[in-house]
Amino acid sequence: MSRLLDMEEFGEAAPFLRKSDLVLLGAQTVAFDGKKRAWIPDEKEAYIEIEIKDIKGDKVIVETNDGKTLTVK
Protein backbone atom coordinates (compact mmCIF):
# COMPACT_ATOMS: atom_id res chain seq x y z
CA MET A 1 0.00 0.00 0.00
CA SER A 2 1.17 3.52 -0.74
CA ARG A 3 2.71 5.43 2.14
CA LEU A 4 0.29 8.32 1.49
CA LEU A 5 -2.77 6.11 1.81
CA ASP A 6 -1.66 4.20 4.91
CA MET A 7 -3.64 6.10 7.52
CA GLU A 8 -3.58 3.40 10.21
CA GLU A 9 -0.55 4.98 11.85
CA PHE A 10 -2.67 8.04 12.71
CA GLY A 11 -5.12 5.99 14.76
CA GLU A 12 -8.31 7.77 15.79
CA ALA A 13 -7.27 10.98 14.01
CA ALA A 14 -7.24 9.29 10.58
CA PRO A 15 -10.86 10.11 9.60
CA PHE A 16 -10.17 13.79 10.21
CA LEU A 17 -6.99 13.78 8.15
CA ARG A 18 -8.35 11.98 5.10
CA LYS A 19 -12.00 12.07 4.06
CA SER A 20 -13.67 9.17 2.30
CA ASP A 21 -13.73 9.05 -1.49
CA LEU A 22 -17.48 9.72 -1.44
CA VAL A 23 -17.04 12.89 0.64
CA LEU A 24 -14.19 14.07 -1.61
CA LEU A 25 -16.27 13.44 -4.73
CA GLY A 26 -19.14 15.46 -3.28
CA ALA A 27 -16.85 18.38 -2.52
CA GLN A 28 -15.38 18.32 -6.02
CA THR A 29 -18.75 18.40 -7.78
CA VAL A 30 -19.92 21.65 -6.15
CA ALA A 31 -19.78 24.35 -8.79
CA PHE A 32 -18.09 27.63 -7.89
CA ASP A 33 -19.21 30.58 -9.99
CA GLY A 34 -16.76 33.43 -9.46
CA LYS A 35 -19.36 35.93 -10.65
CA LYS A 36 -21.99 34.91 -8.09
CA ARG A 37 -20.00 33.45 -5.18
CA ALA A 38 -17.27 35.02 -3.09
CA TRP A 39 -15.73 35.16 0.38
CA ILE A 40 -16.07 38.13 2.72
CA PRO A 41 -14.41 38.90 6.07
CA ASP A 42 -16.30 37.81 9.18
CA GLU A 43 -15.61 38.70 12.81
CA LYS A 44 -16.27 35.18 14.13
CA GLU A 45 -15.00 32.87 11.39
CA ALA A 46 -12.37 35.00 9.61
CA TYR A 47 -14.11 34.56 6.20
CA ILE A 48 -17.51 33.27 5.11
CA GLU A 49 -18.73 32.13 1.73
CA ILE A 50 -21.53 34.23 0.24
CA GLU A 51 -23.69 34.35 -2.87
CA ILE A 52 -24.15 37.71 -4.58
CA LYS A 53 -27.85 38.48 -5.02
CA ASP A 54 -27.86 42.07 -6.30
CA ILE A 55 -25.48 44.94 -7.03
CA LYS A 56 -26.68 48.52 -6.59
CA GLY A 57 -23.97 51.09 -7.16
CA ASP A 58 -21.23 50.50 -4.61
CA LYS A 59 -23.41 48.29 -2.39
CA VAL A 60 -23.79 44.54 -2.85
CA ILE A 61 -26.59 42.46 -1.38
CA VAL A 62 -25.36 38.99 -0.48
CA GLU A 63 -26.71 35.85 1.16
CA THR A 64 -24.60 33.73 3.49
CA ASN A 65 -24.67 29.93 3.58
CA ASP A 66 -26.82 30.07 6.71
CA GLY A 67 -29.47 32.18 4.95
CA LYS A 68 -28.64 35.64 6.32
CA THR A 69 -28.93 38.58 3.92
CA LEU A 70 -26.25 41.26 4.24
CA THR A 71 -25.47 44.50 2.46
CA VAL A 72 -21.76 45.06 1.98
CA LYS A 73 -19.82 47.89 0.46
Sign of CA dihedral 46, 69, 34, 54: negative
Domain span at 19: 1-30
Closest listed residue to residue 35, CA positions, set 20, 55, 21: 55
What confidence tens digit (pLDDT) does each residue in 31-71 have?
777 789 899 999 999 999 999 999 999 999 999 988 999 99
What is the number of structural domains in the chain? 2
Alpha helical stretches, state H, the chain? 14-17, 21-28
Tallying the residues shown for the chain, one arrives at 73
50 and 60 belong to one structural domain: yes
pTM over 0.75: no
26 and 39 belong to one structural domain: no
